[in-house]
Structure 1
Amino acid sequence: MKGLSIIISLFIIFIICSSWGFFAHKKINEYAVYTLPPTLASFYKKNILLISSKAVDADKRCYIDSLESPRHYIDIDDYNEPSIDSIPIHWTKAKEKYQEKQLLLNGIVPWQISFSYHKLVKAFKFKDIRQIIRHSADLGHYIGDAHVPLHTTKNYNGQLTNQIGIHAFWESRLPEMFVKEYSFIKGPAKFIEDPLHTSWNIVKQSNLLVDSVLALEKQLDKSFSKHQKYSFIERNNLLIRTYSDEYARAYHTALNGMVEKRMASAIQQVGSFWYSAWVEAGQPDLKNLQKVTIDDQPLDINNKKNMGREEL
């Protein structure tokens, strides 16, 4: 019975080191393809399955690269600044003010978006199809991460407010349960004049939502008993405790479309960053590039321990 008690205390969704979970990350990259103009969309549509499946490679690298985890978040409240605007947006100036070690401890997702963007520009210039796909997938992942409010705070899993599990609840349980009710395509991809500034704006918008994400769940908890709040399902021959459908529906309603809006924004921004990288590279003709069907170096995470932080 003791062993069973340990098993059922686990939550259904296990998130590695980034946001949205595997399901939503793949959806974000997939739908971003449909925001692109026809000239660029034809290339991405040919490789949509690979770009979507590789959307989670950045997560998997948390198992093999200790430097990967900080690329997925930024704990704004760890900077002890009067406002987020006090943090220099340029990497060199931020390093001068805080030192690189401190930046890595706090997370670097807005800068990582910029780094990955410029790698994609280079890949487009050289018409390197494998690198285009790799950096498109990674860029989509980091942009998706930046759209999740709990990836902009040190209280990333509600561990400081007795709300452990809220991370996966918000970013995985809700999207998987309500995805059919979401409307994702809000408009076409647009050229981004300043990718770094845009990445910081995404983070700022997410950070403004942190208090609501936590407060709404905290308030909801008061009106549900433990029996009503949780339910049990079988997954891989294990009995797992997760948030009940009733509780998830109530939180979904209380959030008033927040998850859908952040996911839809992520989709449009991913498409816009891809499009902008292509334009900055000189709009290379990609028509004759072959479709990639095999991943040369699939990431195997079986029996490996996550080297970054984990959220249950």
Structure 2
Amino acid sequence: MHRTKNLARSLAGVMLVITAVGTGFVGEVRGEDKTALQERIIKAWRQREQDVTSASFRFTQKIVWPAGSVRIPRQAAFENPQRERFPAEDTEFQVRCEYCFDGVSHRFREAGTWPQPAGQKPKKRDSLNTFDGEVAMSLWQPTSKRKFPQGTIYKEADSPIKSNLEIEPLNQIYRLLHSSFRLFDAKGFVIASHAIEQNGVSCVLLVEKNGAGNRIRRMLWADPARNFHIVRFVLKYNDGGFHRTVDFEYNEDDTYGWVPSGWKIVRKDQEGRVILRIDAKITAYELNPQISADNFRIDFPQGTHVQDLRNDKRYVQE
């Protein structure tokens, strides 16, 4: 069974319900053994993954680069060696996104106008990325400077976009424990608090014990009143490096319970300055639809300049 909805319901009413109902759950988990509670949380996440084996989402993103931000700060050494900066005022733009998955296969498309460093005109971008369980591919539509489509077939039998910043929140909800996504190791986290407040909701806080050899630390806030859905995710670099926070929003579905309605992402630099803000809103969704396998491969259009990394070949699609 599948269900399609346009999300227009006000979240304010939902939050009132959560606040009223959540008290009983808080009392229940506060006295619960941490090991038993963590097992119950993991069980709820695994059940959600089993209940939703395929899904399709459409969402918009409002992306803001704060005034004077460094363009691509993490990769500055090789992608932005001049440390180019955005204009002296906040740079805001909108992106339209489509994401669907079926098992390990997934497809992600985003289209919009991307800002450029100060003094340069914004660039339009329309990209498609797919993974069919064996082969990952990408397609970039022509731009004002590049008059032809550009495609890539990746070498690794894995998806390079599964942890993409734009779609990771959806994967954290529906594919958090999936072995192919490797987003969460249940054995690597411990419960730090039975009841910590987040946006007026009492949550269970799970903290990573030894992330990436103690280089990073990830934290998850799970809401007992919403079947342990994640309401906040935080990633910190222990050396004082970059910091990312994701706050999730939900609406209630008549069939599937709580489903995401959007999320907010904030990234900060080593000095704690905000360098990126993303406000995503889901406009339509479908859970457990039938998705053709053809959706997870790309047929490159004629004239596409293709780079096949499996054999290090380049060619133009005929």
Same fold at TM > 0.5 = no
Tell me which protein shows more helix as a share of its residues: 1
TM-score interval for Structure 1 and Structure 2 normalised by the shorter chain: under 0.3
With normalisation by structure 1, the TM-score equals: 0.26
Q: Which has the higher contact order (CA 8 A, sep 6+)?
A: 1
Q: TM-score, normalised on structure 2? A: 0.25
Higher Cα Rg, which structure: 2
